[in-house]
């Protein structure tokens, strides 16, 4: 069973990596061909292992010149996209893992978060103008045993000699997962200089629909530092504050700190509400959830490395504590 499911994971990963062109294309050695992004989120940074416990995403974001004409034409027809903006396409594969607080129990309490996983492939269209960033993303994947979350967590825990979780037999059932997510961010609605350094603030609004999530969100991100690159801060795994896998180098060392907040009104979260079409474990979710994040980014030449620490409010009524986790993102521009 592991072999069959792992073939799905590796085939999807191979499909994403196959989209990465060679760095030295005929466009010229200095021409952008795209950006590779590797994102890792885990609560190990907070010394815990519960709730949203792990997320991994690998993405390739194309240069504007390399977006297929059909996707550009589609982007121009999206009502909230700026018709004069640069369009990029982003192709991603990722996996999220969710667990209760006690991994030693084969039958966790019904009041704790259910075991669950989500293995997905995603396509995003990004439209960036001088005043705004618009993003429309579609994720399609598998929830339940086919997500490979059980095998992934047990494999990693065996390597690091950590507790082997015993309750995966109670996880959500197999179900296809679909998320359509749209976000609009205003570029540097407030910006300036202070103590010789630059700052900007980018507000945003968004919404998601599908059998995985239904929510509306709003918030803002602020950056402060040296030689701010032309981007919207680091990306994160949704639901989250918006960011960009790609960045525009300044030609010099960029170092900046950032802070942001996002509030969500949630109608559905399958990882708390349980399966859509069959009975499964579930808990009573809290319809208002917020993320506050702090972090540091360093960009030099074609490399950008960021660390983000996320404080997430309680997501269900019987959750004992609010959540914290860290995110590391490495983006390499080709």
Summarize pLDDT for 191-250 with one digit per residue, the tens: 999 999 999 999 999 999 999 999 999 999 999 999 998 889 899 999 999 999 999 888
Structure confidence at residue 281 (pLDDT):
98
Task: Decide if pLDDT at 111 tops 70.
Answer: yes
Q: pLDDT confidence of 30, banded at 50, 70, 90?
A: low
Say yes or no to pLDDT of 75 above 80. yes
pLDDT of residue 47: 80
If one looks up domain 2-333 in CATH, what number appears?
A: 2.40.128.140
Q: Is the pLDDT of residue 6 over 50?
A: no
* Percent with pLDDT over 90 in the chain: 83
Residue ranges of domains in the chain: 2-333
**pLDDT tens digits for range 132-141:** 999 999 999 9
Cα–Cα separations (whole angstroms), residue 74 to 22, 89, 123, 259 = 26, 11, 13, 33
11-20, 49-58, 162-171: which has the minimum mean pLDDT? 11-20
Q: Tell me the per-residue pLDDT of 149-192, one tens digit each, with 9 for 90 and over.
A: 999 999 999 998 999 999 999 999 999 999 999 999 999 889 99
Question: SS3 for the chain, per residue?
Answer: CHHHHHHHHHHHHHHHHCCCCCCCCCCCCCCCCEEEEEEEEEHHHHCCCCEEEEEEEEEEEECHHHCCHHHHHHHHCCCCCCCCCEEEEEEEEEEEEEECCCCCCCCCCCCCCCCEEEEEEEEEEEEECCCEEEEEEEEEEEECHHHCHHHHHHHHHHHCCCCCCCCHHHCCCCEEEEEEEEEEEECCCEEEEECCEEEEEEEEEEEEEECCEEEEEEEEEEEEEECCCCCCCCCCCCCCCCCCCCCCCCCCCEEEEEEEEEEEEEEEEHHHHCCCCCCCCCCCECCEEEEEEEEEEEEECCEEEEEEEEEECCCECCCCCCEEEEEEEEEEEC
The Cα 96–Cα 79 span in angstroms is 31
Q: Give 10's pLDDT tier (boundaries 50, 70, 90).
A: very low
- For the cut 80, the answer to whether the pLDDT of residue 28 exceeds it is no
């Amino acid at each position: 069973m592991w072999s069959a499911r792992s073939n799905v994971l590796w085939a999807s990963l191979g499909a994403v990596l196959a989209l990465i062109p060679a760095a030295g294309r005929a466009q010229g050695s200095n021409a952008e061909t795209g950006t590779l992004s590797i994102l890792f989120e885990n609560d190990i940074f907070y010394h815990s292992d519960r709730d949203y416990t792990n997320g991994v995403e690998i993405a390739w974001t194309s240069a504007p010149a390399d977006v297929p004409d059909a996707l550009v034409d589609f982007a121009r027809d999206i009502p909230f996209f700026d018709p004069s903006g640069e369009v990029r396409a982003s192709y991603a594969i990722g996996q999220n893992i969710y667990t209760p607080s006690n991994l030693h129990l084969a039958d966790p309490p019904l009041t704790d978060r259910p075991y669950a996983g989500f293995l997905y492939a995603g396509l995003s269209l990004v439209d960036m103008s001088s005043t705004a960033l618009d993003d429309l993303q579609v994720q399609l994947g598998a929830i339940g045993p086919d997500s490979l979350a059980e095998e992934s967590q047990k494999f990693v825990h065996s390597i690091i000699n950590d507790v082997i979780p015993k309750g995966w037999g109670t996880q959500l059932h197999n179900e296809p997962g679909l998320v359509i997510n749209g976000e609009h961010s205003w570029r540097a609605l407030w910006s300036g200089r202070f103590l010789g350094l630059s700052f900007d603030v980018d507000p945003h609004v968004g919404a998601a629909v599908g059998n995985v999530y239904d929510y509306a969100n709003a918030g803002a991100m602020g950056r402060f530092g040296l030689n701010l690159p032309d981007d919207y801060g680091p990306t994160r795994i949704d639901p989250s504050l918006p960011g960009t896998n790609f960045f525009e180098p300044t030609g010099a060392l960029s170092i900046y700190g950032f802070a942001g907040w996002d509030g969500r009104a949630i109608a559905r979260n399958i990882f708390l509400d349980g399966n859509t079409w069959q009975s499964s474990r579930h808990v009573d979710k809290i319809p208002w959830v917020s993320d506050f994040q702090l972090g540091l980014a360093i960009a030099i030449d074609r490399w950008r490395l960021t660390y983000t620490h996320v404080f997430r409010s309680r997501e269900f009524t019987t959750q004992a504590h609010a959540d914290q986790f860290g995110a590391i993102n490495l983006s390499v521009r080709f």
